C-alpha cells in the first residue's frame, strides 16, 4: 500500500472535516516551508516520528565527471531517519 498526496488530502479531509482544497493548500505550503528549510541547511524534526536534515558529502578531488563536465566535489543530500520512538514501534512489526 502506498500513501500519495491525493490519498493524504482525502484522508485528512475526512478525519478533520476540512475541505479537501484547504487541506491541499496546507500540505503544499508545508512542503514549501520544509523545502526552504532544507535548502538553507536546516533540520526538520517531527517529535516521535521523523527527522529530516541535509548532509554535505565530500567526494574527494577525483569526483569524476557528469555530462562531460567536472562533477562537484561537495554534494548535499537529504537524509531521513525515524525517531527513537518510531524505530522502537517498527521493531514489533517485523515478521
User: What count of other Cβ atoms lies within 10 Å of the Cβ of residue 9?
Assistant: 21
Check residues 59 and 6 and name the one with the higher pLDDT: 6
> Against a cut of 0.85, is the pTM above it?
no
Structure confidence at residue 41 as a pLDDT band (50, 70, 90): very high
Amino acid at each position: 500500500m502506498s500513501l500519495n498526496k491525493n490519498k493524504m488530502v482525502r484522508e485528512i479531509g475526512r478525519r478533520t472535516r476540512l475541505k479537501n482544497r484547504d487541506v491541499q493548500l496546507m500540505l503544499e505550503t508545508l512542503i514549501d516551508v520544509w523545502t526552504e528549510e532544507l535548502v538553507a541547511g536546516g533540520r526538520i524534526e517531527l517529535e516521535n516520528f521523523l527527522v529530516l536534515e541535509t548532509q554535505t558529502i565530500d567526494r574527494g578531488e577525483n569526483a569524476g565527471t557528469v555530462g562531460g563536465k567536472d562533477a562537484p566535489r561537495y554534494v548535499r543530500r537529504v537524509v531521513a531517519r525515524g525517531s527513537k520512538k518510531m524505530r522502537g514501534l517498527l521493531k514489533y512489526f517485523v515478521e
